[in-house]
Amino acid sequence: MSFFGADTDLSKMFSSRTLEKNDVLYREGDTLGDAYIIKFGEIELLKHKSQVDVVGSGEVVGIFNVFFDNKVRMFTAIALTKGEVFIIPEKYLKDILDKVDPFVKYCFRTFLPLLNRFSEQFDKNSSNNAQEKKLLEEENFKKMKMTK
């Protein structure tokens, strides 16, 4: 959490939320909302129900939408373990962006199409992998049937 400085007490700046295992922090497709800094615990990020990443203490989630001017969340975030997150209000993030140099804001906003292309490629790969896995399972099942 060094962005704020080693002596910064985030609990004095932001409220927090306790998470139990399997609690949903937000869902893919939800409209804009707050971001979160993970105080402790692990959170799984999913895209179309496929795991994209697991994030932990000190990491930030839910920030892409505001910084990239996207209207909906790109991932679902689910607690893998008991944990706690600091809630970074959407308004706080927007206020920061309003103060950012226009060139920096432009860079962030033009990066989103690249992320979307990556996401579309991930979707295609996931679909192809699922189809390949299903075909392989069917083939193995047929082989098992023939050997019995």
DSSP bridge pairs for 61: 36
User: Is the pLDDT reported for residue 148 higher than 60?
Assistant: no
Residue 31 DSSP label: B
Lowest pLDDT segment from 2-6, 73-77, 115-119, 130-134: 2-6
Rounded to an integer, what is the distance from CA 83 to the centroid of its chain?
Answer: 16
Distance CA 43, CA 41 (A): 7
The domain 2-147 is classified under which CATH number: 2.60.120.10, 3.40.50.1000, 3.20.20.20, 3.40.630.30?
A: 2.60.120.10
User: Is the pLDDT reported for residue 68 higher than 80?
Assistant: no
Q: Taking Cα atoms as reference points, which of 48, 32, 28, 35 lies closest to residue 3?
A: 35
Q: Of residues 74 and 4, which shows the higher confidence score? A: 74
Q: Quote the radius of gyration of the chain (alpha carbons, Å).
A: 20
Segment (H or E) for 138: helix 102-147
pLDDT confidence of residue 142: 58
pTM: 0.69
The per-residue b/e assignment along 31-49, b for 16 or more CB within 10 angstroms, e otherwise, is ebebbbbbbebbbbbbbee
Name the 3-class secondary structure at 28: coil
User: Is the pLDDT reported for residue 25 higher than 70?
Assistant: yes
CA atoms within 13 Å, Cβ hemisphere of 115: 16
User: Is the pLDDT reported for residue 12 higher than 90?
Assistant: no
Domain boundaries in the chain?
Answer: 2-147
Phi and psi torsions of 69, nearest 5°: 55, 40
Q: Per residue in 104-133, pLDDT tens? A: 878 777 776 676 677 677 666 665 566 666
pLDDT confidence of residue 37: 94
Strands 60-61 and 76-79: unpaired
Please provide the average confidence, as pLDDT, over all residues in the chain: 81
pLDDT confidence of residue 8: 72
